[in-house]
Amino acid sequence: MYETWEELEKSIQNCQKCKLYKTRQNIVFGTGNKNAKIMFIGEGPGADEDKQGEPFVGRAGKLMNMAFDIVGIKREEVYIANIVKCRPPGNRNPEEDEASSCIDYLRNQVILVKPEIIVLLGSVALKNILGKEYGITASRGKWVEKKGIQYMPTWHPAALLRDESKKIEFIKDLMQVVEYKLEK
Protein backbone atom coordinates (compact mmCIF):
# COMPACT_ATOMS: atom_id res chain seq x y z
CA MET A 1 0.00 0.00 0.00
CA TYR A 2 1.10 3.52 -0.79
CA GLU A 3 1.13 6.10 1.99
CA THR A 4 0.71 9.15 -0.25
CA TRP A 5 -1.33 10.12 -3.28
CA GLU A 6 1.86 11.00 -5.14
CA GLU A 7 3.38 7.52 -4.63
CA LEU A 8 0.16 5.84 -5.70
CA GLU A 9 -0.25 7.95 -8.83
CA LYS A 10 3.39 7.44 -9.85
CA SER A 11 2.97 3.68 -9.48
CA ILE A 12 -0.11 3.73 -11.70
CA GLN A 13 1.66 5.92 -14.29
CA ASN A 14 4.31 3.22 -14.60
CA CYS A 15 1.92 0.25 -14.41
CA GLN A 16 2.22 -2.56 -16.95
CA LYS A 17 0.34 -5.25 -14.97
CA CYS A 18 -2.15 -5.92 -17.80
CA LYS A 19 -2.41 -5.34 -21.54
CA LEU A 20 -4.44 -2.12 -21.20
CA TYR A 21 -1.30 -0.03 -20.71
CA LYS A 22 -0.32 -0.72 -24.33
CA THR A 23 -3.20 1.28 -25.81
CA ARG A 24 -3.77 4.04 -23.25
CA GLN A 25 -3.17 7.70 -23.95
CA ASN A 26 -3.39 8.60 -20.26
CA ILE A 27 -4.08 6.83 -17.03
CA VAL A 28 -7.35 7.95 -15.47
CA PHE A 29 -6.35 8.13 -11.84
CA GLY A 30 -9.35 9.70 -10.17
CA THR A 31 -10.54 13.18 -9.32
CA GLY A 32 -12.21 15.22 -6.66
CA ASN A 33 -12.01 15.77 -2.94
CA LYS A 34 -9.39 13.46 -1.47
CA ASN A 35 -11.18 13.68 1.90
CA ALA A 36 -14.66 13.11 0.49
CA LYS A 37 -17.43 11.49 2.51
CA ILE A 38 -18.88 10.16 -0.77
CA MET A 39 -16.90 8.26 -3.39
CA PHE A 40 -18.17 7.14 -6.81
CA ILE A 41 -16.67 4.12 -8.57
CA GLY A 42 -17.27 3.36 -12.25
CA GLU A 43 -15.91 0.61 -14.44
CA GLY A 44 -13.25 2.20 -16.61
CA PRO A 45 -12.38 5.18 -18.78
CA GLY A 46 -13.90 5.81 -22.18
CA ALA A 47 -12.35 7.67 -25.11
CA ASP A 48 -12.90 11.17 -23.68
CA GLU A 49 -11.55 10.11 -20.30
CA ASP A 50 -8.49 8.48 -21.88
CA LYS A 51 -7.80 11.67 -23.83
CA GLN A 52 -8.23 14.02 -20.82
CA GLY A 53 -6.97 11.74 -18.05
CA GLU A 54 -10.04 12.36 -15.89
CA PRO A 55 -13.04 10.14 -15.10
CA PHE A 56 -16.57 10.86 -16.32
CA VAL A 57 -15.91 13.76 -18.69
CA GLY A 58 -17.72 12.33 -21.74
CA ARG A 59 -21.46 12.02 -22.42
CA ALA A 60 -22.06 9.75 -19.40
CA GLY A 61 -20.14 12.19 -17.21
CA LYS A 62 -22.21 15.13 -18.41
CA LEU A 63 -25.36 13.17 -17.57
CA MET A 64 -23.95 12.35 -14.13
CA ASN A 65 -23.18 16.04 -13.56
CA MET A 66 -26.78 16.95 -14.43
CA ALA A 67 -28.02 14.35 -11.93
CA PHE A 68 -25.63 15.78 -9.32
CA ASP A 69 -27.12 19.24 -9.91
CA ILE A 70 -30.66 17.88 -9.48
CA VAL A 71 -29.93 16.21 -6.12
CA GLY A 72 -27.49 18.81 -4.78
CA ILE A 73 -24.19 16.94 -5.02
CA LYS A 74 -21.20 19.11 -5.88
CA ARG A 75 -18.69 17.24 -8.03
CA GLU A 76 -15.75 18.93 -6.28
CA GLU A 77 -16.98 17.57 -2.92
CA VAL A 78 -16.93 13.89 -3.95
CA TYR A 79 -14.16 11.61 -5.17
CA ILE A 80 -14.59 9.74 -8.47
CA ALA A 81 -12.53 6.73 -9.59
CA ASN A 82 -12.83 3.59 -11.70
CA ILE A 83 -12.14 -0.12 -11.34
CA VAL A 84 -9.46 0.11 -14.05
CA LYS A 85 -7.26 3.14 -14.70
CA CYS A 86 -6.71 2.56 -18.44
CA ARG A 87 -9.31 2.50 -21.21
CA PRO A 88 -10.42 -0.91 -22.42
CA PRO A 89 -10.39 -0.93 -26.25
CA GLY A 90 -13.71 -0.04 -27.84
CA ASN A 91 -15.13 0.93 -24.43
CA ARG A 92 -15.73 -2.74 -23.63
CA ASN A 93 -16.06 -3.86 -20.02
CA PRO A 94 -12.77 -4.57 -18.28
CA GLU A 95 -11.85 -8.25 -18.41
CA GLU A 96 -11.45 -10.10 -15.13
CA ASP A 97 -7.64 -10.15 -15.26
CA GLU A 98 -7.55 -6.41 -16.04
CA ALA A 99 -9.82 -5.59 -13.11
CA SER A 100 -7.90 -7.84 -10.72
CA SER A 101 -4.60 -6.27 -11.85
CA CYS A 102 -5.92 -2.81 -10.98
CA ILE A 103 -8.12 -3.43 -7.92
CA ASP A 104 -5.36 -2.83 -5.36
CA TYR A 105 -4.88 0.67 -6.73
CA LEU A 106 -8.57 1.35 -6.15
CA ARG A 107 -8.44 -0.19 -2.66
CA ASN A 108 -5.52 2.14 -1.90
CA GLN A 109 -7.58 5.11 -3.10
CA VAL A 110 -10.44 4.07 -0.79
CA ILE A 111 -8.00 3.79 2.15
CA LEU A 112 -6.62 7.26 1.43
CA VAL A 113 -10.05 8.91 0.91
CA LYS A 114 -11.79 7.15 3.85
CA PRO A 115 -15.32 7.64 2.46
CA GLU A 116 -18.45 6.89 4.48
CA ILE A 117 -20.45 6.11 1.33
CA ILE A 118 -19.36 4.50 -1.94
CA VAL A 119 -21.72 4.69 -4.91
CA LEU A 120 -21.10 1.75 -7.24
CA LEU A 121 -21.89 2.78 -10.81
CA GLY A 122 -23.01 -0.30 -12.71
CA SER A 123 -22.49 -4.03 -12.68
CA VAL A 124 -18.71 -4.06 -13.18
CA ALA A 125 -18.11 -1.87 -10.12
CA LEU A 126 -20.69 -3.80 -8.08
CA LYS A 127 -19.27 -7.26 -8.85
CA ASN A 128 -15.63 -6.21 -8.37
CA ILE A 129 -16.28 -4.49 -5.04
CA LEU A 130 -19.06 -6.47 -3.35
CA GLY A 131 -18.78 -9.81 -5.14
CA LYS A 132 -19.81 -11.79 -8.20
CA GLU A 133 -23.03 -12.92 -6.52
CA TYR A 134 -24.46 -9.39 -6.77
CA GLY A 135 -26.47 -8.31 -9.80
CA ILE A 136 -27.13 -4.65 -10.57
CA THR A 137 -30.83 -5.05 -11.39
CA ALA A 138 -31.60 -6.72 -8.04
CA SER A 139 -29.13 -4.63 -5.99
CA ARG A 140 -29.56 -1.09 -7.28
CA GLY A 141 -31.10 1.32 -4.83
CA LYS A 142 -30.45 -0.95 -1.81
CA TRP A 143 -27.84 -0.11 0.82
CA VAL A 144 -25.13 -2.68 1.55
CA GLU A 145 -22.80 -2.23 4.54
CA LYS A 146 -19.33 -3.76 4.40
CA LYS A 147 -16.35 -3.02 6.65
CA GLY A 148 -17.93 0.16 8.00
CA ILE A 149 -18.70 1.65 4.58
CA GLN A 150 -22.21 2.09 3.17
CA TYR A 151 -22.47 1.06 -0.48
CA MET A 152 -25.20 2.23 -2.86
CA PRO A 153 -25.28 0.25 -6.12
CA THR A 154 -26.93 2.11 -8.99
CA TRP A 155 -26.97 2.28 -12.76
CA HIS A 156 -23.87 3.37 -14.60
CA PRO A 157 -24.58 6.74 -16.25
CA ALA A 158 -23.81 5.19 -19.67
CA ALA A 159 -26.81 2.88 -19.13
CA LEU A 160 -29.01 5.97 -18.84
CA LEU A 161 -27.90 7.03 -22.31
CA ARG A 162 -29.15 3.70 -23.66
CA ASP A 163 -32.35 3.50 -21.57
CA GLU A 164 -33.97 6.78 -20.55
CA SER A 165 -36.34 5.01 -18.13
CA LYS A 166 -33.40 4.36 -15.76
CA LYS A 167 -32.82 8.09 -15.19
CA ILE A 168 -35.53 8.37 -12.52
CA GLU A 169 -34.16 5.36 -10.61
CA PHE A 170 -30.65 6.82 -10.82
CA ILE A 171 -31.88 10.15 -9.40
CA LYS A 172 -33.76 8.32 -6.62
CA ASP A 173 -30.62 6.36 -5.71
CA LEU A 174 -28.56 9.56 -5.56
CA MET A 175 -31.28 11.15 -3.41
CA GLN A 176 -30.86 8.28 -0.93
CA VAL A 177 -27.13 9.05 -0.80
CA VAL A 178 -27.78 12.74 -0.12
CA GLU A 179 -30.39 11.92 2.55
CA TYR A 180 -28.05 9.43 4.26
CA LYS A 181 -25.23 11.97 4.29
CA LEU A 182 -27.56 14.60 5.80
CA GLU A 183 -28.59 12.20 8.58
CA LYS A 184 -24.94 11.74 9.65
pTM summary value = 0.97
Percent of the chain with pLDDT over 90: 97
pLDDT tens readout for residues 125-176: 999 999 999 999 999 999 999 999 999 999 999 999 999 999 999 999 999 9
Triad 109, 176, 178: Cα angle to 5°: 65
Task: Give the span between the Cα atoms of 3 and 167, in whole angstroms.
Answer: 38
Query: How far from the centroid of its chain's Cα atoms is residue 68's Cα?
Result: 14
CATH number of the domain bearing residue 105: 3.40.470.10
Q: List alpha helices for the chain, DSSP H.
A: 5-13, 47-52, 59-71, 96-113, 123-129, 136-139, 157-162, 166-183
Our count of domains for the chain comes to: 1
The domain in which residue 167 lies consists of: 5-183
